[in-house]
Homo-oligomer: A and B are copies of this chain.
Amino acid sequence: MALFGRKKSVSLVPEVGEEEQVDVASPTLPEAPPLDANGMRGVADHVSYLLSLVSPLKPFGMGLLEAWNQVMCEDIDSMINVPPSNTSKVDGYAVRVADIGGDVESVELVGASDRLAPHTAVPVHAGDILPRGATAVLPTAFGSRSDGRLRIIDAVGEGEYVRAAGEHLAIGTRLLSEGDVLNDRAIGMMASAGIDRVLVRPRPRVVVVSSGDELVEPGSQLRHGESTDSNSFMIAAAARAAGATVFRVAVHSSDPAALRRTITDQLIRADLLISTTSGRREDYEAVSQAMSELGLTDSVDVAMSPGRTQTFGLIGAEQVPMVMLPGNPVSAYVSFQAFVWPLIRRLAGASEHRTVLRAISTTPLSSVRGRTQLLRGRLDTSSSVPTVSRISDPHAMAELSRCNALLVMGEDVESVAAGEHVMCWPLDEI
């Protein structure tokens, strides 16, 4: 807390007794939403609170292909007309309708020109740009040529057989709006309108910091008491799936000072920090201590199962958001989907609303009123009515690797009978 607002060049190791010197005006996080009767914060409240503390990244101009799948930060209106000028739809003669009405029998036939003089006509082919002044095209069959004059057999009205400038696309037509995702068709549209750069938000850069002195890299020989770090790999991949550019950093320590150094080093390239641990108390406490020394933190019990214990912080002078995930792999993954996914989307300026699919549960499900439960399930969308089966496995990572959806039982849902609908968050593209 004491270091909040300092420049990064200042030593980040707190001096003894410094906390007593903090004055009353020291920064704090904005007021958090009220807790429920059990002292817990609702899931929706927690999501809203975290989103209120994080702003979308600054947009910048990117080439079209580089900006693919990013969120537009500007409205784009067409600066061109399609077609660019009035053109003829048929073979015939460009005419002024006013010249050929009434009892006019013929007009003078002249050669191609930029401008159609009164009482003249100019031969045109389908697709030709009309000379200025022309207000219609007389199809070939509607006239006859003789002695340098065009005899009018049938008249035409204003604009007939003319494709007007901008008829297909007019200057000023809104092509893309702020918030739209620049997909492949939108890129085609931009290019065809002559636009080669657009203002989009960059991919958020997420740093996953793995800590814990008993965690080793996969592939290492395990010694007594050690286990392989897997949460940080899973969460790094989940952040990538959410659209982030991801860096993974392993501290291999539960020393708060080492953690502080690593977090401080990573602030330069992080739009969001995520902490993963093995879930031992000493690992949790070390991260918690480092976070509160480097920034403003919010630790709260959320009315969610799994994933009750949630810690968020705004770290360093730049107030980089940081989430500490629980140590159990299932709790970590569910917490990521519930709370970190919306933050990554907010940073990218994209919609924070998940795709929700209604599926028929093949098994009965139960939950506790007042708590959101996120069960693991296997969704089957191959038939016209999607079904979902709960997955449960004593090995947390095996349970996760078998699931492809989270089953959401809201705070007001106590049970779902087999054959009833349950809301699902698909975890892979469907």
Interface residues of A (CB under 8 A from B): 64-65, 68-69, 82, 167-169, 175-176, 181, 183-197, 217-220, 222, 228-231, 233-238, 240-241, 246, 248, 329, 333, 355, 358, 384, 393-395, 397-398, 400-401, 403, 427-430
Q: Is the CB of B188 within 8 A of A329?
A: yes
Per the bound structure, the CA–CA distance linking A246 and B65 in Å amounts to 9
Q: Is the CB of A196 within 8 A of B183?
A: no
Partner of A427, one of B183, B218, B238: B183
Provide the residues of chain B in CB contact with A190, threshold 8 Å.
218, 230, 233
Partner of A185, one of B246, B248, B427: B427
Q: Is the CB of B428 within 8 A of A430?
A: no
Provide the residues of chain B in CB contact with A241, threshold 8 Å.
68-69, 183-184
Partner of A189, one of B220, B397, B427, B429: B397
Chain B nearest CB, measured from A18 CB (Å): 39
Per the bound structure, the CA–CA distance linking A206 and B400 in Å amounts to 34
Q: With A196-B219, A218-B194 known to touch, is A234 a contact of B188 (CB < 8 Å)?
A: yes
Partner of A401, one of B185, B233, B400: B185
Q: Is the CB of B218 within 8 A of A167?
A: no
Q: With A241-B68, A394-B167 known to touch, is A400 a contact of B188 (CB < 8 Å)?
A: yes
Provide the residues of chain B in CB contact with A220, threshold 8 Å.
194
Q: Is the CB of B169 within 8 A of A398?
A: yes
Per the bound structure, the CA–CA distance linking A234 and B233 in Å amounts to 34
Provide the residues of chain B in CB contact with A187, threshold 8 Å.
233-234, 236-237
Partner of A169, one of B175, B238, B395: B395
Provide the residues of chain B in CB contact with A237, threshold 8 Å.
64-65, 68, 183-184, 187-188
Pairs across A and B, CB under 8 Å, 27 listed: A64-B233, A65-B233, A68-B237, A69-B240, A69-B241, A168-B393, A169-B398, A181-B428, A183-B427, A184-B240, A185-B234, A185-B333, A185-B401, A186-B401, A187-B233, A187-B236, A188-B333, A189-B230, A189-B398, A190-B230, A191-B234, A194-B218, A194-B220, A196-B217, A196-B219, A197-B219, A355-B430
Q: Is the CB of B185 within 8 A of A400?
A: yes
Per the bound structure, the CA–CA distance linking A222 and B83 in Å amounts to 13
Per the bound structure, the CA–CA distance linking A231 and B190 in Å amounts to 11
Provide the residues of chain B in CB contact with A82, threshold 8 Å.
395
Partner of A192, one of B181, B230, B393, B428: B230
Provide the residues of chain B in CB contact with A194, threshold 8 Å.
218-220, 222, 228
Provide the residues of chain B in CB contact with A236, threshold 8 Å.
65, 187
Q: Beyond the given A188-B329, A190-B233, A192-B230, please list 10 additional residue pairs across the A-B interface where CB-CB is below 8 A.
A: A64-B237, A68-B241, A175-B401, A181-B428, A183-B427, A183-B428, A185-B333, A185-B403, A189-B400, A192-B228
Q: Is the CB of A401 within 8 A of B189?
A: yes
Q: Is the CB of B427 within 8 A of A429?
A: no
Provide the residues of chain B in CB contact with A228, threshold 8 Å.
191-194
Q: Is the CB of A191 within 8 A of B230?
A: yes
Q: With A65-B246, A68-B241, A167-B394 known to touch, is A191 a contact of B401 (CB < 8 Å)?
A: no
Chain B nearest CB, measured from A315 CB (Å): 23
Q: Is the CB of A234 within 8 A of B196?
A: no
Per the bound structure, the CA–CA distance linking A196 and B384 in Å amounts to 39
Chain B nearest CB, measured from A307 CB (Å): 16
Q: Is the CB of B183 within 8 A of A395?
A: no
* Most-contacted residue by chain B among A400, A401, A430 (CB, 10 A): A401
Q: Is the CB of A188 within 8 A of B398?
A: no
Provide the residues of chain B in CB contact with A333, threshold 8 Å.
184-185, 188
Q: With A194-B219, A197-B219, A329-B188 known to touch, is A68 a contact of B240 (CB < 8 Å)?
A: yes
Q: Is the CB of A168 within 8 A of B218?
A: no
Provide the residues of chain B in CB contact with A229, threshold 8 Å.
191
Chain B residue nearest to A329 (CB atoms) is B188
* Most-contacted residue by chain B among A82, A222, A230, A240 (CB, 10 A): A230
